[in-house]
Amino acid sequence: MPFVAVNPTTGETIATYPAHTREQVNLALATAHAAFLEWRTTSFEERAVLMVRAAELLEGELPVVAQLLTSEMGKTFAAAKGEVAKCAMTMRYYAEHAESLLADELIATSASRSGIRYEPIGAVLAIMPWNFPLWQAVRFAAPSLMAGNVGILKHAPNVPGTAAFLEDLFRRSGFPTGVFTNLYAELDVVADIIADERVAAVTLTGSERAGRSVAELAGRHLKKSVMELGGSDAFIVASSADLDHTIPLAVTARVQNNGQSCIASKRFLVVRDRADEFIARFTDAMAAVAVGDPMEPATVVGPLVSSTQRDLLDAQVRDAVAKGAVVHAGGAPVDGPGFFYPPTVLSHVPPASRAGCEELFGPVAVVQVVDDLDEAIAVANSTPWGLGGSIWATDPAEIEHALSGIEAGMVFANAVVASTPELPFGGIKNSGYGRELSAVGIREFTNVKSFFVA
């Protein structure tokens, strides 16, 4: 089947790309393996020169690349420009820091010299999602390539243009053929790629279902894997919260990327003594969010990625309402062309409803009133996911209690959960395992080799 890009704003097909045949995939794997044998011998300095060149090209072409992201998945042009800039920044970060992050670590033993070194392992297959089509791929590629590995990208089928652009970007930057390869691979071919002995590891960002399937395949073939899966992040509003600061960021936390983010806050847990004010102000703020053409500067929320995603979100909301949920804002798809769904606020959502137990991938917020911070933390931890979470408070004791108590890979205080190259990114429980970014992330796909010199 071909890979088709559809503009979510209009519903029109942009471009179609043919899937690679098994023969083409086999040739690409052979080329990648041969490239690795040479690339692993290059110095950090050589790799850094090329990575900086890629960042410079990306910065120079920023508006054009941002428009590509907007046209393929519907994020606002402003958000797309921010994504492109963040990719260039991360490329520069690893170009500058990879050598120190992977430097030998000396450890005192009975040897004259002993310790740990981090060495590349080979070709890393990256199965990436559509919601941050450039960032997710660069988040894997920049550290992997700087570590001396080569990358093979199997991108989401609805962002084929972004995948092609990224392969071309690394080519134009001077990276040797095979160091970064884009494959339009169908699902049955992906299984063969994971099994191939020329592939050393696999990383996936996507749904829990996809993660289970890929992790099972990787485990069967004893391949290292990193899984960054779904989340239902809690946004806890404590008694000491400054609502003037909190309310605007609560909106951002829910509607960023049109609400289609694994780390977007989805459950707003508000202590009872602040609940009435929070719900009233949050509802007004969500209802005021501008929805429309993502290329327009005033637009804050563009379309969802597809009609399928819009219809899924609508079904989740309708199920909750049928079971007793209260709609404070939004609650129904926007009429007209494109795949639009308005910012929506629900309360009294039954735990057994779909909105109460499934991840909501769109601008729908579930507000739940709790008695105190202890109950908020307990509710935050009650889901099978554990990606991120946030605490909104001015009392240091409340902040520390939440930082320690929330079971997640990332917890932010008085700030929207986000990714940054300096800190590890990833979750626990059904949100996956392993980490991206930081020193931890670049070491995930290395051979942690002990050495001992008697």
8 Å CB contact between 390 and 253: yes
Q: Which residues in 354-402 belong to E strands, given as ranges?
A: 364-370, 385-386, 388-392
> Average pLDDT over the chain, rounded to whole?
98
Catalytic residue among 72, 83, 167, 262: 262
| Averaged pLDDT for residues 283-305 | 98
Catalytic residue among 72, 167, 228, 444: 228
Find the DSSP H helices in 109-159.
135-146
Q: Count Cβ atoms below 10 Å from residue 239 Cβ, excluding itself.
A: 15
What's the whole-model pTM score? 0.97
Q: In what order do the strands lie in the sheet with 113-120?
A: 105-106, 113-120, 446-453
* Amino acid making up residue 33: H
User: What gap in Å lies between CA 209 and CA 322, rounded to an integer?
Assistant: 27
8 Å CB contact between 80 and 256: no
User: Has 262 been annotated as catalytic?
Assistant: yes
pLDDT value of residue 2? 86
Q: Which residues in 97-154 belong to E strands, given as ranges?
A: 105-106, 113-120, 123-127, 150-154
| Averaged pLDDT for residues 128-138 | 98
Report the Cα 412 to chain-centroid distance in Å: 16
* Amino acid making up residue 404: S
* Amino acid making up residue 394: T
Q: What is the pLDDT of residues 17-41, one digit of tens each?
A: 999 999 999 999 999 999 999 999 9
Does the pLDDT value for residue 1 go beyond 90? no
Q: What is the pLDDT of residues 346-405, one digit of tens each?
A: 999 999 999 999 999 999 999 999 999 999 999 999 999 999 999 999 999 999 999 999
Q: Which residues in 183-336 belong to E strands, given as ranges?
A: 199-205, 224-228, 233-237, 265-271, 326-329
User: Has 357 been annotated as catalytic?
Assistant: no
Burial of 208 (0-12, 13-18, 19+ CB in 10 A): middle
Go through 345-360 and write b for each residue having 16 or more CB atoms within 10 A of its CB, e for each that does not. Answer: bbbebeeebbbbebbb
pLDDT value of residue 308? 97
Model confidence at 191, in pLDDT bands (50, 70, 90)? Answer: very high
8 Å CB contact between 408 and 389: yes
Does the pLDDT value for residue 213 go beyond 90? yes
pLDDT value of residue 321? 98
Instruction: Enumerate domains of the chain plus CATH numbers.
Output: 3-229+431-453 (3.40.605.10), 233-413 (3.40.309.10)
pLDDT value of residue 27? 98
Which pair of tokens denotes residue 365? 């917020």
Which pair of tokens denotes residue 329? 């804002």
Quick one: DSSP state of residue 257? Answer: G
